[in-house]
């Protein structure tokens, strides 16, 4: 591989020797325009960890309410309680949405806004009825932001909140709500949200009770590359401590219908670089996921040669990115996901939430 950027040479040596990259290496990678060079390096790590396998999951997203007291500036999904388009699904509605799949999925992915009035029991009931009817379907639900809010409503510690939710059927936590950990950024784009340390602590607590989780970063708005690298290193540090993260999912910002609509959409080069640099910096994360709903199926496919080993799943219904102008479909059938992967020269593996292959 011929590198067009000489500054990548020392990083190449570290990657080949399986050595950890530093903060400065992260900055060098983000500053480099040698996309093929970066992708080549990320592919080495990807193949070392996951061979030729590329994962997808047969899942169903359910967003139970869009009413949210936080109103983050980057969010086009949330509404105030009395605003047009505000909705809240009853527990019965959630069950009906789940029944549309007739139990054919292996995961329900449930996230929503911070509703001012719903009691803790609503969440316990939702999990209980889903778990009773579909005991084999893994429920991945509630971002750290929601867990913190639920702990306040329930008057319980984070640990006891997680245990109560787990007893009702919760299997793992999704990676949302992380945004960018830097306080400068949070003050500007999500001032009411829990801070970076609190997000990390909720995942730490989940991992300590044996619950696995994912991590995300929302990029392509006002963050600097230093803030991106700092975010990745904070995740890497927690993963060193607990080993509880499964996948990292960089989420590209969709500005339409948000308070930040003057920001341009991310480009293909930025998305691929973000995915590849994540693979290189997060040496202790087993999986890097390109959420095809956000980056688009075509780029998700190409990313399988740039560090990515997972393209998420069938999804079925997606409101968060589509409220913010995503032009992707809301669902892709299993055989199309598998076909995309095969055409990219990888071996499709249908997985469950915990990355066990479904045969
Ligand atoms: O927390 C909100 C982000 C997240 C926008 O864990 C936006 O496997 C882009 O976390 N443009 C929710 N992003 C989605 C999420 C997720 C998705 C798929 C898989 C997993 C996983 C997690 O979406 C939010 C926020 O960070 N978001 N608004 C927007 N306008
Ligand atoms: Fe609420 Fe989450 Fe949207 Fe922020 S990103 S406004 S917390 S739904």
Pocket lining: 176 vs ligand 1, CB cutoff 6 Å: yes
- What residue ranges line ligand 2, CB within 6 angstroms? 68, 70-72, 75, 77-78, 113-114, 145, 190, 193
Question: Is 115 a domain residue?
Answer: no
Question: Is 236 a domain residue?
Answer: yes
Q: How far is the CA of 320 from the centre of ligand 1 (A)?
A: 7
Q: How far is the CA of 234 from the centre of ligand 1 (A)?
A: 19
pLDDT for the residue numbered 79: 97
Please report which ligand is nearest the Cα atom of 113. 2
CA 290/CA 328 separation, integer angstroms: 14
Question: Is 67 a domain residue?
Answer: no
Could you count the other beta carbons within 10 Å of the beta carbon of residue 257? 12
Convert the pLDDT of each residue in 196-244 to its tens digit.
999 999 999 999 999 999 999 999 999 999 999 999 999 999 999 999 9
Residue 59, beta-bridge partner list: 107
Q: How far is the CA of 72 from the centre of ligand 2 (A)?
A: 5
Q: How far is the CA of 18 from the centre of ligand 1 (A)?
A: 31
Question: Is 203 a domain residue?
Answer: yes
- 3-state DSSP assignment of residue 191: coil
Convert the pLDDT of each residue in 254-286 to its tens digit.
999 999 999 999 999 999 999 999 999 999 999
Pocket lining: 43 vs ligand 1, CB cutoff 6 Å: no
Question: Is 12 a domain residue?
Answer: no
Q: 48 lies in which domain range?
A: 19-58+146-351
Residues 6+ apart with CB under 8 A from 338: 56, 348, 350
Please report which ligand is nearest the Cα atom of 194. 2
Convert the pLDDT of each residue in 40-62 to its tens digit.
999 999 999 999 999 999 999 99
Of 63, 148, 216, the one to substitute when testing ligand 1's pocket (max ligand atoms within 8 A of C-beta) is 216
Q: How far is the CA of 75 from the centre of ligand 2 (A)?
A: 6
CA 264/CA 244 separation, integer angstroms: 34
Pocket lining: 291 vs ligand 1, CB cutoff 6 Å: yes
Six token digits for residue 57: 């999951």
CA 309/CA 292 separation, integer angstroms: 12
- Please report, for the domain that includes residue 41, its CATH number: 3.20.20.70
Exposure letters 107-117 (e unless 16+ CB within 10 A, then b): bbbbbbbbbee
CA 3/CA 132 separation, integer angstroms: 55
pLDDT band at residue 316 under the 50/70/90 scheme: confident
Q: Classify residue 156 by burial, with Cβ atoms within 10 Å: 0-12, 13-18, 19+.
A: middle
Six token digits for residue 214: 């994912």
Question: Is 65 a domain residue?
Answer: no
CA 162/CA 172 separation, integer angstroms: 10
Query: In whole angstroms, how far apart are CA 356 and each of 128, 268, 323, 334, 349?
Result: 24, 31, 32, 17, 9
pLDDT for the residue numbered 281: 98
Contact, 160 vs 208, CB < 8 A? no
Pocket lining: 248 vs ligand 1, CB cutoff 6 Å: no
Pocket lining: 216 vs ligand 1, CB cutoff 6 Å: yes
Residue 143 has pLDDT above 80, yes or no: yes
CA 170/CA 108 separation, integer angstroms: 10
CA 302/CA 306 separation, integer angstroms: 7
DSSP 8-state class, residue 305: G
Residue 103 has pLDDT above 70, yes or no: no
pLDDT band at residue 331 under the 50/70/90 scheme: confident
Please report which ligand is nearest the Cα atom of 143. 1
Question: Is 206 a domain residue?
Answer: yes
Q: Kindly report the CA angle at 187 between 185 and 189, in degrees rounded to 5?
A: 65
pLDDT for the residue numbered 1: 76
State the Cα torsion 57-63-68-71 to the nearest 10°: 50
Pocket lining: 175 vs ligand 1, CB cutoff 6 Å: yes
Please report which ligand is nearest the Cα atom of 253. 1
CA 260/CA 73 separation, integer angstroms: 6
Residue 20 backbone class (left: φ over 0; alpha: ψ -120 to 50; beta: rest): beta
pLDDT for the residue numbered 4: 84
How many domains does one find in the chain? 1
Residue 320 has pLDDT above 90, yes or no: no
Contact, 157 vs 151, CB < 8 A? yes
Question: Is 24 a domain residue?
Answer: yes
């Amino acid at each position: 591989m011929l590198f067009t950027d000489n500054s990548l040479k020392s990083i190449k040596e570290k990657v080949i020797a399986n050595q950890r990259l530093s903060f400065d290496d992260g900055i060098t990678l983000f500053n480099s325009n040698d996309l093929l060079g970066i992708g080549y390096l990320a592919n080495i790590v990807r193949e070392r960890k996951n061979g030729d396998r590329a994962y997808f999951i047969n899942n169903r997203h359910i967003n139970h309410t869009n009413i949210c007291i936080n109103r983050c500036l980057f969010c086009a999904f949330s509404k105030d309680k009395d605003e047009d388009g505000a909705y809240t699904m009853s527990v019965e509605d959630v069950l009906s949405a789940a029944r549309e799949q007739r139990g054919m999925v292996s995961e329900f992915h449930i996230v929503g806004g911070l509703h001012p009035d719903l009691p803790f029991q609503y969440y316990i009931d939702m999990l209980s009825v889903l778990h009773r009817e579909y005991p084999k379907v893994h429920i991945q639900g509630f971002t750290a932001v929601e867990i913190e809010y639920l702990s306040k409503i329930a008057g319980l510690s984070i640990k006891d909140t997680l245990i109560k939710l787990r007893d009702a059927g919760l299997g793992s936590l999704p990676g949302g709500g992380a945004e960018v950990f830097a306080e400068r950024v949070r003050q500007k784009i999500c001032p009411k949200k829990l801070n970076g340390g609190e997000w990390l602590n909720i995942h730490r607590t989940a991992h300590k009770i044996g619950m696995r989780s994912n991590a995300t970063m929302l990029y392509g708005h006002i963050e600097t590359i230093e803030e991106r690298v700092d975010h990745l290193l904070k995740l890497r540090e927690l993963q060193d401590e607990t080993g509880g993260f499964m996948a990292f999912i960089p989420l590209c910002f969709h500005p339409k219908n948000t308070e930040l609509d003057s920001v341009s959409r991310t480009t293909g080069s930025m998305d691929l670089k973000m995915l590849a640099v994540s693979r290189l910096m997060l040496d202790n994360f087993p999986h890097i996921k390109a959420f095809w709903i956000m980056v688009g199926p075509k780029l998700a496919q190409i990313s399988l040669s740039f560090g990515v080993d997972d393209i998420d799943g069938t999804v079925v219904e997606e409101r968060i990115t589509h409220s913010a102008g995503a032009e992707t479909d809301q669902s892709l059938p299993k055989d199309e996901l598998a076909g995309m992967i095969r055409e990219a020269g990888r071996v499709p593996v249908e997985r469950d939430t915990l990355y066990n292959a479904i045969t």
